[in-house]
Amino acid sequence: MARSRRVNSSRTEIIRDQDSFESIESDWWRLWSQSASATPFQSPAWLLPWWRAFTPGDLAVIAVWSGNDLIGLAPLYVERDAGGSRLLPVGISLSDYLDILCAPGAETHVGTAIAEAVLSLDWSQWILPDLPAGSTASAMAIAGTREEQHAGHAACPILALAGDETLAGSVPSRRRRQLRRAHNAALRRGRVEIAPAQTDPELFLYELTRLHGARWAGHGGGVLADSAAVGFHRDALPRLYANGLARCWTIKIDNAVVGAYYGFHHRSRAYAYLGGFDPSYAEESPGAILIGNAITEAIREGGGEFDFLRGREEYKYSWGALDRWTMQKIWTRQTP
């Protein structure tokens, strides 16, 4: 079920059910491809599987149309518990970047339309985390609310890419020497093979889940310890591949799969999303070899940035990455 209303010359629609949400997929792809700030995390290939896997509340997707063209989209849902009702973005937690999609030149109009539409929904707080710099949502103002803005919400270390496939123009010399030592150590164990995963995403996810669990054994098992998260990726990964976004590899040493890398590439940016490796091969550093391979492939594709995504793990900085911070906005409705 969806409800529509007019805002100026456009039509604003609030989508409440999954079938209607999925029915706008082709329009959504067109809007996503136009949006300068869009990442794979705002694509239908990511967010539709997320909603199917988790369905954590009541869907409240706001779509802004100009004639038959989708010009703005805010995929949202309402979560209710004893603490009240919160308006949250579809994809929260597993998505490293979140924002409202907007057609070029329509930012102000779409922002106004969405700001008016959210007031018709039942919520006490609207929380938007992980907004990148310059996001559409960061400029929105909601009448009758108290607004909080946290500029240093999460760090995403990013490596600027330059030079050629030797990595000399991008990666510090110390890290390049470590990478050569890792390759040599792996070759001493046997034949080394790095293979792309697009021919069999299901097998790749099996290996990734196994290796990620091995990496995080004794520390909660990692994000793939949740069967719903595995189901989500099983649904999303073929869709990401079909739309040219996924970049996944496994590494074999002496015919044993000992590492897996799960990432994306869109326009001029590569994203390192998730990985896993066999701890018994720690000396050979299969995870580092795969990251080096991913950076090399990103350079081959003309990438300008390699995004390590959320988290300030020490290894990211050893590659030469520098922090870029996301922000969080919270609107709280004022009680009379």
Tally of CA atoms within 13 A in the half-sphere of 52 that contains its CB: 16
Number of domains in the chain: 2
CA 243 – CA 248 distance, rounded (Å): 14
For 52-96, write each residue's pLDDT tens digit: 999 999 999 999 999 999 999 999 999 998 878 999 999 999 999
Residue 251 DSSP SS3? strand
- For residue 79, tell me if it sits in a domain: yes
pLDDT at 7 over 60: no
Residues 135, 223, single domain; the answer is: no
For 243-299, write each residue's pLDDT tens digit: 999 999 999 999 999 999 999 999 999 999 999 999 999 999 999 999 999 999 999
CA 292 – CA 192 distance, rounded (Å): 14
Going by C-alpha positions, the residue among 271, 274, 228, 267 that lies closest to residue 250 is 274
CA 158 – CA 316 distance, rounded (Å): 8
- Cβ neighbours of residue 255 under 8 Å, at least 6 residues apart? 190, 191
In residues, how long is the chain? 336
Least confident segment among 7-21, 120-134, 268-282, 286-300: 7-21
Residue 80 sits in which domain range?
A: 2-154+326-333
* H/E stretch holding 147: strand 145-160
CATH number of the structural domain spanning residue 282: 3.40.630.30
Check if the beta carbon of residue 298 is closer than 8 Å to that of residue 263. Answer: no
- For residue 92, tell me if it sits in a domain: yes
Residues 143, 223, single domain; the answer is: no
